[in-house]
């Protein structure tokens, strides 16, 4: 029978009026055979109302399944195992689920009517039901995966896929069934297949921290840990002595059964890496799970032979009172790994203390954020928050897998290993091993001829070939690994990573042929009724291959950005390979086009523009290149980076705005030839508007860009920016105490200003990335599951606004004022500042920023010994009578002192004004013993400026200088300056000599 639009209703009526479940299943088989591979027939059936009919069949069976499950639970049989036998109802539902999957294979347009019907909720309810047969569950999972691969955009002009499936899947009603399926132990092929399908379904739909946390709460992560441990048992990697420690706290109490012979490890490694990515707590939850602690127990501490004493009554031993445990850094698995020398101390120092770009993520504080606010969740800069003793033996096992496995198993083991490394759960001493063993393997995966074994039943698991999946994920994995390590970056470059990545970026813009030809249609431009209905096709959207291409492009851009932050030679190499124009093209946002999607004559793999995640990665790559003066002056200008970048400042996505603003920060530097383009492109007004944003990151980076922009600019531009920001608003931010403001999460880096010189703005890339900056305390190896789950769910709230945000925002405002009042013509701007701000009020604000943070007031003779520069810490006086009070943040102190010293550098009139401010002078006096050498240097510079006089001026000016010098002596500044004669900082000592010579000249000359 040939299916046509006219024959659909009779067969549909036969289905709707089927006398029994068996006849219904038979009719469904006929319909399935008719529509497979025929998109025009699928359209006809959808228009005839097939989707709501399928929804009714599934819904009815769902209700019957609920009753049957209830009867089983009330009877003698109380089991949660799946039935292997198939009833007529199951057969009918199985055929309905298969037909739904066949329709979804037509593409995005065919998935939308399925989403608008009641099909998904019924499918998930049947999947979660204990009374559903294994064959039905497998069919449902295959259909859900097909739908997940072809989800339409959430909005017509959006790229992100619709979240209806994810919202249902991770709801409280259905999420528990995921862990239940993964925990199944039967070797039955259908059971094993259902487990793999659930794993793949979660991989394709889990994208947010909220969803990952829900999976942790539903015990999915622990179920995966059980699966991984079963592979450890099957492979024979259980550590010696584990059997004797089964009853220790935190373990399972028994060894897990070995994995079935044909079970595959890669899917479980892949999903585990997805869930723990972006959270140190989730990573710790994994390595401290009972299953992994059972097969990988932490080695007991050892003691020196002299500490072990022998009891006089026999062979028993005891420890001496001075015994100190020595933890073993290696485990038996390490003996199977190649011996690699550790990097030298100099290399280790070179790679330390340089934060990565702001989240390749988070390319996610946010799931789409890379190198922005990112790298983004965990400690993105890999801070040493744990000791060398806290590494799990699972790390060595993963390294072994990377070295000895191939294809997806190697990739997924590397992904989980790098994720743990980013969270600080891998010993830093392994960096040398990674540079020689891991980085070259990841770079090798970028090659076209990299051999990847295809899985025999791959067609049932994933829409893309395994080789494409490896090439898609390998660049992003390389980016995560090397992002802030010079040693690892060098290893990647030596492996020819830049050349390979550059070629891959270019190829990502090539049109890719469609995997199948569109169905012939008698009309040249067929038009079908579309709308939000279960009886009409939806709008077109990106195909699975198109999404793959954009994900691949995003990963390549991340990798290029991660290789370029430190070395100018690497940036030049990228430019020589011609990647700059492609990075610029990657800055153009995505625009939907109905002709460039599934079933289009053009092909489903052509995409106009780039989604938000790719824009973030492109901004990170552009930002890395702007760190090179030569690249900034040549390649970026020639490629036309300014127009698309400025356009992104008004993007609807706030993360894209932030990423673009970070690039503008570097373009606004004084040596940048694009500074004029920023001024002439009406960007100043946009930056000023963003500086008032409620988003703390956007506010911070906008102020940072404006600070760079006003440096060494004309007074007209300075005053224009000052007015655009609103003087009252600036004064409010300067006067507010961050301790009294609603908290937020913004990190930044203050700028060091030296007196007597123009303020030198630093590259904006000094900011610290917070997408992965979680810092929960290390959990003990024996922490119970409930405690670990609570910890995992407590530290992923990225919407919080902390005090540190407000401190850094206030620092940027103060440093903006510094750059306003320095340089040529500064006297005019200082006069303007005092005109806009009441003189007394301004000095009161500055004094408040220098005062101790508590209600107690510091003694005027307090000598601070702060030891950090980014957070509020306690000061400890060297005098016994000094109060112990919290000091202001060092960045704030430096910025305030710099404002004062620049005001003192303006005109003699303002020097007299400053020295008349007794409170300010006493607070400056207290900074001479500060732990920061920059603070001490600024304090000495203020004294030099207050006594400075020009020999060409009249005698009255010199008399005023002497008067100020005597006042400084009366206040105790001479003794304070004398105390810095032997300062550890050479610059402070030289400035001290200048100050002492001025005192000698003015007081005794």
Question: pLDDT of 619-628, one tens digit each?
Answer: 999 999 998 8
What pLDDT digit, counting tens, does each position of 842-881 carry? Answer: 999 999 999 986 543 333 333 333 333 333 223 333 333 3
What DSSP designation does 627 have?
Answer: T
pLDDT band at residue 725 using 50, 70 and 90 as cut-offs: very high
pLDDT over 70 percentage in the chain: 74
Return d(Cα 197, Cα 268) in angstroms, integer. 11
Question: Cα–chain-centroid distance for residue 880?
Answer: 47
Rg (alpha carbons) of the chain, rounded to whole number: 33
- pLDDT given at position 633: 77
At 240, list the tokens: 């010696």
| CB of 787 closer than 8 Å to CB of 711 | no
At 465, list the tokens: 């070939």
- pLDDT given at position 539: 81
- pLDDT given at position 173: 93
What pLDDT digit, counting tens, does each position of 457-490 carry? Answer: 544 567 888 889 999 999 999 999 999 899 999 9
Distances (CA, A) of 916 to 355, 484, 490, 833: 42, 48, 56, 19
What pLDDT digit, counting tens, does each position of 671-710 carry? Answer: 888 888 888 878 999 999 999 999 999 999 999 999 999 9
Of 347, 353, 374, the residue nearest 363 (C-alpha): 374
Return d(Cα 79, Cα 96) in angstroms, integer. 27
| pTM: predicted TM-score of the whole model, two decimal places | 0.84
Of 892, 988, 887, the residue nearest 937 (C-alpha): 988
Return d(Cα 446, Cα 474) in angstroms, integer. 7
Of 228, 215, 226, the residue nearest 275 (C-alpha): 215
Neighbouring residues of 628: CB distance < 8 A, sequence distance ≥ 6: 568, 571, 572
Distances (CA, A) of 795 to 209, 364, 375, 788: 10, 14, 16, 12
What pLDDT digit, counting tens, does each position of 74-89 carry? Answer: 333 333 445 555 677 8
Provide φ and ψ at 83, rounded to 5°.
-80, 140
Domain with CATH 1.25.10.10 in the chain: 8-218, 838-1004
Return d(Cα 305, Cα 852) in angstroms, integer. 52
The sign of the dihedral angle between the CA atoms of 374, 379, 383, 389 is: negative
What DSSP designation does 18 have?
Answer: -
What DSSP designation does 326 have?
Answer: B
pLDDT band at residue 772 using 50, 70 and 90 as cut-offs: very low
- pLDDT given at position 669: 87
Return d(Cα 106, Cα 373) in angstroms, integer. 38
What pLDDT digit, counting tens, does each position of 878-933 carry? Answer: 333 344 557 899 999 999 999 999 999 988 889 999 999 999 999 999 999 999 99
**pLDDT for 250 beyond 90:** no
What's the whole-number mean pLDDT along residues 369-388?
A: 40
What's the whole-number mean pLDDT along residues 117-136?
A: 91
**pLDDT for 723 beyond 80:** yes
- pLDDT given at position 923: 95
What pLDDT digit, counting tens, does each position of 948-992 carry? Answer: 876 655 677 788 889 999 999 999 999 999 999 999 999 999 999
**pLDDT for 751 beyond 50:** no
pLDDT band at residue 745 using 50, 70 and 90 as cut-offs: very low
List the beta bridge partners of residue 744: 801
- In the block, tokens 């004669």 appear at 981
What pLDDT digit, counting tens, does each position of 383-399 carry? Answer: 444 445 578 999 999 99
- pLDDT given at position 73: 38
- pLDDT given at position 317: 61
**pLDDT for 137 beyond 90:** yes
User: What is the greatest pairwise CA distance in the chain?
Assistant: 117
| CB of 205 closer than 8 Å to CB of 153 | no
Return d(Cα 315, Cα 141) in angstroms, integer. 61
- pLDDT given at position 632: 79
- pLDDT given at position 787: 46
- pLDDT given at position 993: 94
Q: What kind of architecture, by CATH, is found in domain 838-1004?
A: Alpha Horseshoe (1.25)
What's the whole-number mean pLDDT along residues 364-389?
A: 40
CATH number of 8-218: 1.25.10.10
- pLDDT given at position 654: 93
Return d(Cα 94, Cα 133) in angstroms, integer. 9
Q: Which residue has the higher pLDDT, 602 or 726?
A: 726
At 928, list the tokens: 């001479």
Q: Which residue has the higher pLDDT, 762 or 838?
A: 838
What pLDDT digit, counting tens, does each position of 527-572 carry? Answer: 444 455 777 888 888 888 889 999 999 999 999 999 999 999 999 9
- pLDDT given at position 321: 55
At 579, list the tokens: 């990647």
**pLDDT for 297 beyond 80:** yes
Residue 35 C-beta-side C-alpha neighbours within 13 Å: 32
What's the whole-number mean pLDDT along residues 436-444?
A: 95
pLDDT band at residue 66 using 50, 70 and 90 as cut-offs: low
């Amino acid at each position: 029978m040939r299916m046509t639009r006219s024959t659909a209703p009779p067969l549909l009526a036969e289905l709707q009026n089927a006398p029994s479940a068996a006849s219904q299943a038979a009719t469904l088989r006929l319909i399935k055979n008719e529509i497979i591979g025929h998109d025009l027939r699928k359209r006809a059936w959808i228009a005839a109302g097939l989707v709501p009919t399928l929804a009714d069949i599934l819904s009815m069976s769902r209700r019957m399944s609920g009753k049957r499950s209830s009867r089983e639970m009330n009877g003698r049989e109380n089991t949660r195992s799946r039935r292997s036998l198939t009833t007529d109802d199951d057969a009918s539902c199985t055929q309905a689920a298969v037909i739904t999957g066949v329709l979804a294979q037509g593409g995005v347009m065919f998935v939308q009517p399925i989403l608008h019907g009641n099909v998904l909720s019924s499918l998930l309810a049947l999947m979660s039901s204990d009374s559903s047969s294994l064959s039905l569950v497998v069919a449902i999972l295959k259909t859900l995966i097909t739908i997940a691969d072809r989800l339409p955009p959430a909005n017509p002009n959006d790229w992100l896929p619709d979240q209806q499936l994810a919202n249902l899947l991770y709801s409280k009603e259905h999420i528990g069934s995921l862990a239940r399926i993964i925990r199944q132990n039967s070797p039955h092929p259908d059971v094993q297949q259902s487990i793999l399908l659930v794993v793949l379904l979660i991989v394709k739909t889990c994208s947010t921290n909220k969803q990952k946390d829900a999976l942790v709460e539903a015990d999915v992560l622990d179920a995966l840990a059980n699966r991984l441990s079963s592979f450890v048992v099957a492979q024979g990697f259980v550590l010696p002595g584990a059997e004797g420690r089964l009853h220790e706290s935190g373990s399972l109490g028994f060894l897990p059964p070995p994995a079935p012979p044909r079970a595959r490890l890669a899917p479980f490694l892949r999903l585990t890496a997805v869930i723990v990515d972006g959270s140190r707590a989730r990573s710790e939850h994994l390595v401290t799970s009972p299953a992994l602690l059972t097969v990988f127990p932490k080695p007991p501490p050892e003691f020196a032979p002299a500490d072990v004493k022998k009891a006089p009554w026999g062979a028993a031993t005891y420890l001496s009172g001075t015994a100190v445990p020595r933890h073993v850094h290696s485990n038996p698995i390490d003996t199977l790994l190649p011996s690699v020398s550790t990097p030298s101390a100099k290399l280790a120092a070179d790679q330390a203390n340089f934060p990565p770009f702001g989240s390749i993520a988070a390319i996610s504080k946010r799931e789409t954020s890379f190198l922005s606010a990112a790298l983004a969740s965990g400690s993105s800069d890999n801070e040493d928050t744990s000791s060398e003793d806290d590494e799990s033996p699972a790390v060595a096992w993963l390294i072994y897998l990377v070295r000895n496995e191939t294809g997806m198993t190697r990739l997924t083991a590397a992904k989980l290993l790098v994720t743990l490394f980013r969270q600080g759960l891998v010993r830093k001493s392994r960096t040398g091993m990674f540079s020689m063993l891991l980085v070259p393997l990841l770079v090798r995966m970028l090659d076209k001829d990299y051999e990847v074994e295809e899985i025999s039943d791959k067609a049932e698991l994933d829409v893309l070939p395994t080789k494409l999946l490896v090439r898609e994920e390998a660049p992003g994995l390389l980016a995560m690994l090397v992002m802030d390590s010079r040693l690892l970056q060098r290893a990647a470059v030596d492996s020819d990573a830049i050349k390979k990545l550059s070629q891959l970026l270019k190829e990502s813009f090539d049109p890719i042929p469609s995997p199948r030809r569109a169905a012939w249609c008698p009309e040249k431009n067929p038009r079908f009724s579309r709308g939000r209905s279960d009886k009409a096709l939806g709008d077109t959207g990106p195909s699975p291959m198109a999404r793959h291409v954009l994900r691949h492009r995003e990963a390549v851009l991340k990798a290029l950005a991660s290789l370029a932050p430190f070395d100018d030679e690497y940036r030049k190499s990228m430019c020589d390979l011609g990647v700059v124009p492609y990075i610029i093209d990657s800055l153009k946002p995505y625009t939907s086009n109905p002709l460039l999607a599934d079933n289009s004559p053009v092909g489903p793999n052509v995409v106009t523009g780039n989604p938000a995640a790719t824009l973030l990665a492109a901004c990170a790559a552009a930002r890395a290149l702007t760190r090179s003066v030569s690249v900034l002056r040549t390649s970026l200008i020639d490629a036309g980076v300014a127009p698309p970048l400025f356009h992104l400042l008004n993007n609807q996505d706030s993360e894209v705005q932030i990423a673009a603003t970070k690039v503008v920060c570097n373009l606004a530097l004084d040596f940048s030839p694009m500074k004029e383009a920023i001024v002439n492109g009406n960007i100043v007004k946009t930056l000023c508007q963003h500086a008032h944003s409620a988003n703390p990151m956007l506010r911070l980076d906008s102020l940072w860009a404006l600070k760079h922009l006003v440096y060494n600019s004309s007074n007209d531009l300075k005053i224009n920016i000052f007015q655009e920001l609103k003087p009252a608003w600036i004064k409010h931010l300067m006067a507010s105490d961050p301790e009294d403001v609603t908290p937020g999460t913004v990190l930044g880096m203050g700028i060091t200003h030296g007196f007597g010189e123009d303020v030198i703005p630093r590259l904006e890339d000094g900011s610290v990335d917070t997408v992965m900056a979680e810092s929960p305390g290390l959990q003990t190896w024996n922490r119970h599951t409930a405690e670990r789950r609570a910890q995992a769910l407590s530290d992923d709230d990225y919407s919080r606004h902390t005090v540190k945000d407000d401190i850094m925002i206030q620092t940027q405002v103060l440093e903006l004022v510094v750059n306003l009042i320095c340089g040529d013509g500064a006297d005019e701007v200082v006069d303007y500042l005092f005109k806009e701000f009441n003189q007394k009020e301004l000095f009161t604000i500055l004094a408040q920023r220098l005062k101790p943070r508590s209600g107690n007031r510091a003694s005027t003779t307090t000598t601070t010994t702060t030891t950090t520069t980014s957070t509020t810490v306690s000061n400890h006086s060297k005098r016994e009578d000094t109060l112990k009070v919290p000091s202001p943040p060092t960045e704030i102190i430096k910025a305030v002192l710099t404002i004062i010293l620049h005001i003192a550098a303006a005109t003699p009139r303002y020097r007299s004004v400053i020295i008349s401010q007794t409170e300010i002078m006493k607070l400056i006096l207290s900074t001479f013993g500060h732990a920061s050498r920059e603070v001490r240097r600024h304090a000495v510079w203020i004294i030099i400026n207050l006594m400075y006089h020009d020999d060409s001026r009249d005698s009255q000016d010199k008399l005023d200088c002497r008067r100020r010098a005597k006042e400084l002596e009366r206040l105790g500044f001479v003794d304070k300056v004398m105390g810095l004669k032997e300062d550890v900082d050479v610059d402070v000592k030289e400035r001290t000599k200048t100050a002492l010579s001025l005192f000698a000249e003015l007081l005794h000359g």
